[in-house]
Amino acid sequence: MGPKRRSSSSLAFLSRLHSTLTLSKLLQQQVIHLSTWSAAANKAEIQWLSNAERSAYFASREAMGVLWLVLQGDAWWRAVGSIKSLIYSSSVRNKSHFRFGVPNAHA
pLDDT of residue 54: 82
Please write the tens of the pLDDT for every residue from 50-90.
Answer: 888 888 888 888 988 888 888 888 888 777 777 777 666 66
Q: What percent of the chain has pLDDT over 70?
A: 36
Whether the model clears a pTM of 0.85, i.e. scores above it, the answer is no
Judged against a pLDDT cut of 80, whether residue 24 lies above it is answered with no
Q: Is residue 9 part of a domain?
A: no
Is residue 75 included in any domain, yes or no?
yes
* Residue 21 lies in domain: 17-89
How many domains would you assign to the chain? 1
The DSSP string of 24-67 is: HHHHHHHHHHHHHHHHHS-HHHHHTS-HHHHHHHHHHHHHHHHH
Cα–Cα distance measured from residue 29 to residue 68, given in angstroms and rounded to the nearest whole number:
11
**pLDDT over 50 at 21, yes or no:** yes
**Averaged confidence pLDDT in the chain:** 65
Would you say residue 66 lies in a domain? yes
Is the residue at 106 inside a domain?
A: no
32 C-beta neighbours (distance < 10 Å), count: 10
Does any domain span residue 40? Answer: yes
Section 18-36 average pLDDT:
57
The SS3 of residue 102 is: strand
Per-residue pLDDT, 107: 47
Q: Is the residue at 78 inside a domain?
A: yes
